[in-house]
Amino acid sequence: MPALSPSIPALRDAFGDVIERALVSCGDTIAYVRRDRAHDVLAWLKDTPGQEFDYLTDLTAVEYRDPERPLEVVYQLRSLARRADLRIKVALDREEPLEVRSVYDLWRGADWLEREVYDMFGIVFQGHPDLRRILMWDTYVEGHPLRKDFPLRGHFSRAEQTRQALAANPEAHYSLEELSIAEAFHELPRDMRERLRRGERGFVR
Amino acid sequence: MGLTGPAVRRPREELASVSAMSPNWITTRLDFLTNWARANSLWPMPFGTACCAIEFMATAASRFDLARFGMERMSFSPRQADVLICAGRLPFKLAPVIRRIWDQMPQPKWCISMGACASTGGIFDNYSMVQGIDTIIPVDVYVPGCPPRPEGLMYGILLLQKKIKGESFTDDSLREERPVGPDGLYLPPDRVDELSEPFGNSISQTRSA
């Protein structure tokens, strides 16, 4: 039986019963966190010395087939410095609105991940700066495809789906920044502009 | 029906349109010449979305060498393209994109649907996938396979060349544009539903399952 991550006792000391339960599954430690304090726990995990989970590997959600079970939002964290992983889960009761606080302010990479979860599951991330669909087009009205009550082929007939898809005007739904990346060149930091001018595509620190 | 006969009595301006004439020796010779030229200098507009595009690249590369069939130049601009090759699955999100590319291509133009997904939706019989690009744009040649080998695509291209060599000036319907109609589709809705019907293993799945 692999041991729990040492982050769990530290979390329990700091947050007490906010950590609902913790278990080990396939060698990975999973901690269930109460929804109202989830953001505090994640911020603590990111910033506390000795934890330093500075990298959000993935953010996703799970809906189980059992209609009684709550939906879960899953945060897969990684500490690049300590080479340690931790999985945090937040259960969302179906009776209440599916809402959880955005972690965009902690990890910028959560931006598109939260948009994807919103698109596929309809979970609203409060405080997200730009919460709109990312995989389906903006005018998509059939629902959130990865929910269990969503039929595999969608709600509408194929003709109606095709009609709506052809009527979508893709250019109309991109933000100005997305359409004018080239025009934003002069707003980049000076060193980045110089690297781009030299044709450099990236660098390793 | 020769050059003499009705042609002599027609005013000059009517003769200006070759396509207005019935098939005769001149038009059939012109057909032969233009079709020979068209069929052997097809510039493809590659619309590669998935694994079929990898096979398409292999077809264009040196071992199989599409240039042997006059496809010397990939035309990444639809304005200079003759044949749209849709290589790979087409999600509904890309449907307006491929439709606009098709509308931007000048006549004469043809379309090859490469692979199972482009032709029928393939294994992706789900909410997000177009069930065959023929519900979006007209298709001339379907190439089966998942993905088709380069030989398969080349056979499809040869079939398209054969089809082009059989075309005629005098048939205006070949060059007719079929835009998206006022109901938002280019085919009647029941035709789209019929083309999108499930097949194979997925017929046992119902829409509500």
Residue A75, domain CATH: 3.30.460.80
Based on the fold, state whether residues A113 and A158 are members of the same structural domain. no
Name the burial class of residue A52, with classes exposed (0-12), middle (13-18) and buried (19+) by CB atoms within 10 angstroms of its CB: middle
Instruction: Pick the range with the lowest mean pLDDT from A27-36, A131-140, B17-26.
Output: B17-26
Q: Which domains does chain B possess?
A: 38-201 (3.40.50.12280)
pTM for the model stands at: 0.79
Based on the fold, state whether residues A26 and A121 are members of the same structural domain. yes
Based on the fold, state whether residues A99 and A153 are members of the same structural domain. no
Based on the fold, state whether residues A149 and A130 are members of the same structural domain. no
Based on the fold, state whether residues A179 and A114 are members of the same structural domain. no
Which residue from A175, A74, A167 is spatially nearest to A123, judged by alpha carbons? A74
Based on the fold, state whether residues A114 and A185 are members of the same structural domain. no
Based on the fold, state whether residues A85 and A124 are members of the same structural domain. yes
Q: Mean of the per-residue pLDDT values for chain A? A: 86
On chain B, the residues whose CB falls within 8 A of the CB of A134 are none
Give one DSSP letter per residue of A107-137, joined into a string.
-TTHHHHHHHHHHHH--EEET-TT---SSS-
Model pLDDT, residue B209:
40
Based on the fold, state whether residues A106 and A9 are members of the same structural domain. yes
On chain B, the residues whose CB falls within 8 A of the CB of A169 are 96
Tokens of B138: 């007209």
Structural domain ending residue among the three candidates A94, A110, A135: A135
Report the distance separating Cα B17 and Cα A153, nearest Å. Answer: 49
Based on the fold, state whether residues A103 and A200 are members of the same structural domain. no
Res B1 pLDDT > 50: no
Question: Over the stretch A150-193, which tens digit does the pLDDT of each residue have?
Answer: 888 888 888 889 998 888 877 776 655 565 656 667 777 787 77
Of A136, A162, A167, the CB nearest to B93: A136
Based on the fold, state whether residues A149 and A119 are members of the same structural domain. no
Tally of domains in chain A: 2
Q: Name residues whose C-beta falls within 8 Å of residue A62's C-beta, 6 or more positions apart in sequence.
A: A71, A72, A74
**Domain range for A54:** 1-135
Of A137, A142, A167, the CB nearest to B184: A167
Residue A124 pLDDT grade (very low, low, confident, very high; cuts 50, 70, 90): very high
Structural domain ending residue among the three candidates A100, A135, A170: A135
Which residue from B109, B132, B136 is spatially nearest to B45, judged by alpha carbons? B109
Report the distance separating Cα A118 and Cα A60, nearest Å. Answer: 10
Based on the fold, state whether residues A119 and A150 are members of the same structural domain. no
